[in-house]
Amino acid sequence: MTKNKWMIYGANGYTGHLIAAQAVAQGMTPILAGRDPAAIHALGTLHSLKCRVFDPQQHAQAAHALLDVAVVANCAGPFSATSAAMISACLSSKSHYLDITGEISVFEAAYARDQQAREAGVVLCPGVGFDVIPTDCIAACLHQAMPDATQLALGFETSSGLSPGTAKTTIEGLSLGGKIRRAGVITDVPLGYKRRQIDFGRGTKAAVTIPWGDVATAYYSTAINNIEVYLPAPSAVAIAMSLLNPVRRLFGLSAVQNGLKGLVEKFIKGPSEEQRKRQRTWLWGEVRNDAGEIKSASLQTANGYDVTVHGVLHSVRHLLDYQGDGGYFTPTKLLGARVIEQLPGSGKITIN
């Protein structure tokens, strides 16, 4: 069977809505899918697109729904709840898999299925949105500039706001603490583990380490053994993060999780189009080698959600024409080290 169809799963979510609308504006015709029949069919009617309703956890049902689908863009977060089952369905149906996760555990789980994907001829490329295309490109370009680098630091400054899905993922991560990669191994560290001063592009600011997806992905893109990711944080915020450490496991309790996610559903809707136009993003990276040499990189992009929309559509187009091998890929391994520069609203990566 020749496959030329593609699907947005979780199309009824905030980011799925944006991707569907932009796809139609570009003349693309995705299949819209999810678990909520009313929401999916309402969106399908709005855009005159075909719809499918299924639960990835029902493996036979999901694999059947993907039989004629060449590429799945999974936008149903938190991805800790959807990615593993959807990847299993994609491996069975021989459909390429994309998603927009930033969850370290999801990247690691996808990487662990590299051999299965190779044998099936299926591409697994999670993180084709703001998580992690821009930072992955900075990491890859810095590695090209300093091939013997042994330390990599990445970071970004943004006011992009939160969608409901992103907020829920953040809540899930509260109990997990911080993460860095040390000597090649992803290592648990306290929240707010390390602080430093960084100029992300708008002046030097206090910043703190966060458990961002590049702790996983940048290692596969660059083979650099020591990786940290930073976000601007005033001293008061950094101190508050450290104070959470003794009680952070309480955030893993079901009652706490459900209560916080209920507040998300009630109060968080995601930024408006006008807000997204105003809220750009500044990114930074730095590598060091054992000789003490340093190189840094900077980049400015559109709002994180707009980067995600265009990153997904670029990745889908690439895979619809793809003739290469299957396996696990990071965005730069699949799309190239400077793919971010091809996305609307993005500048050029500058290396110093």
pLDDT tens digits, residue range 214-223? 999 999 999 9
Residues 228 and 175 in one domain: yes
Q: Which residues constitute the domain of residue 9? A: 5-130+305-336
Name which residue leads in pLDDT, 40 or 175.
40
Q: Region 226-248: what's the mean pLDDT?
A: 70
Question: What pLDDT is stored for residue 54 in this prediction?
Answer: 98
When pLDDT is cut at 50, 70 and 90, the band that residue 235 belongs to is low
CA pair distance 350, 352, nearest whole angstrom: 7
Residues 331 and 286 in one domain: no
Residues 293 and 195 in one domain: yes
Q: Looking at the predicted structure, is the pLDDT value of residue 300 above 90?
A: yes
CA dihedral (172, 184, 227, 209) in degrees, to 10, reads 40
Q: Could you tell me the pTM of the whole model?
A: 0.89
Residues 137 and 126 in one domain: no
CA pair distance 321, 323, nearest whole angstrom: 7
Q: For residue 183, tell me if it sits in a domain.
A: yes
Average pLDDT, the chain: 89
Q: Looking at the predicted structure, is the pLDDT value of residue 238 above 90?
A: no
Q: For residue 196, tell me if it sits in a domain.
A: yes
Q: For residue 349, tell me if it sits in a domain.
A: no
Q: Which long-range contacts (CB under 8 A, 24 or more apart) does 319-325 make?
A: 319/70, 319/71, 319/96, 319/98, 319/123, 319/125, 320/4, 320/6, 320/70, 320/71, 322/96, 322/123, 324/123, 325/118, 325/121
Q: Looking at the predicted structure, is the pLDDT value of residue 47 above 70?
A: yes
| CATH number of the CATH domain containing 236 | 3.30.360.10
Residues 92 and 146 in one domain: no
Which of 191-200, 248-257, 313-322 has the lowest average pLDDT? 248-257
**How many domains does one find in the chain?**
2
Residues 311 and 298 in one domain: no
pLDDT in tens, 336-352: 999 999 999 999 999 99
Residues 124 and 137 in one domain: no
Q: For residue 317, tell me if it sits in a domain.
A: yes
Question: What pLDDT is stored for residue 298 in this prediction?
Answer: 98
Question: What pLDDT is stored for residue 191 in this prediction?
Answer: 80
Structural domain ending residue among the three candidates 262, 282, 303: 303
When pLDDT is cut at 50, 70 and 90, the band that residue 264 belongs to is very low
Q: Of 164, 147, 157, 253, which is closest to residue 207 (Cα–Cα)?
A: 157
